[in-house]
Structures are given as structure tokens and as C-alpha cells.
Amino acid sequence: MNMQVRNLFETSSHYFERQAEKLVLEGYRHWTSGFETGSVIPWEMAWTIYTQELGLDKAKLALAELSHFIRTLHFCAACQLKAFPYGSMHICREECLLMGLISALQNGDDTTRDACLDALVTGSRVAEVKKAAQDYAQVMAELDQVLLPIPHYAVACVLSPAGHKTFH
């Protein structure tokens, strides 16, 4: 079965166009790109997105936590973090796991949270990433940016050997 991400996350509106999902996904993409390239340009682009969507004061709070979370994840990740280019309507494995992690933290889904953490982070650093992710998820929730719940089966599909071939 060739399942695409957009089929897993269908709602009455487009998943990637929801403000909370857009901020988390595009924030991750831009911040990761900044680490990969050593350029501040992607971080400035993230700043623009967050300030346009949230306003100056809220963007400051959200980006401070995003920066800390991505920095922590970057240094604790089990593998190199990957991301699609900004604005892409597809997500890769790491992006799905990141979205699953933040969604699970916001929606009280410990099973999905643990599956995402186990796949993203080396064992000795899980608590560190979990805390940084929780802080980011909490700030986003306080700013009314709550992701839709991502079902555990979607994460399990991504983590399965076949999942690596079905997600774009």
C-alpha cells in the first residue's frame, strides 16, 4: 500500500495549512536549515513567519523555545536531522516524528510521545530532548497553537521498514 502523509492526516481543512502545524513544521525546517548551512537567513525567515502569524511578543516566546528545542534535538539526535525544503507539502520521517512528538505532548499521548522520542534520540539524552520539546509544546499551547492529535498508527507506519518507502 502506497500511503502518503496527507492521507494519514486528512481533516476538513488542509493539515499543513493549519497555523499550529505550519509554525511547528516550518519552524523546524528553517531552524534545521540554519544549523546545516551555518546561515542566519533561514532563522530570519522563521522569524518572519512567526511574527506574521503570532505578532512580535508571542513570536519571541515561541522562537526562543523552538531554538532551544531544535538545538537540543540537533545535538542529541540518533541520526542526522532531515527536512524537506520550506513550504513543501510532504514530510520526511524526521519531520513526521517531530510533529508526532509535539502533538503527543500537547494532547497527552504518552505512547506516541515515547515512540517519537525513541526514534529521534539516543537513549542517554531522551530526558533532555523531552524537556526541551515539552517546553516548546507548552509555549505553543499557551499561544493557542495546539496541533491536531496524530494517531499512534501513523507514527508506527513511519517507523516500520515499509514506512521509509511510503512517505515523501
Average of per-residue pLDDT values in the chain: 87
pLDDT at 6 (0 to 100): 45
Q: What interhelical angle do 152-159 and 93-107 show, nearest 10?
A: 150
Residue ranges making up the domain that contains 110: 5-166
Count of structural domains, the chain: 1
Q: Give the Å distances, CA to CA, from 78 to 97, 106, 123.
A: 12, 23, 8
Q: What percentage of residues in the chain have a pLDDT greater than 90?
A: 65
65 CA to centre of own chain:
13
> What is the CA 47 to chain-centroid distance, rounded?
16
Residues 62, 81: Cα–Cα separation, whole Å: 21
Confidence of residue 132 (pLDDT cuts 50, 70, 90): very high
Name the band, by pLDDT with cuts 50, 70 and 90, for residue 105. very high
pTM: 0.86
Mean pLDDT of 53-68: 97
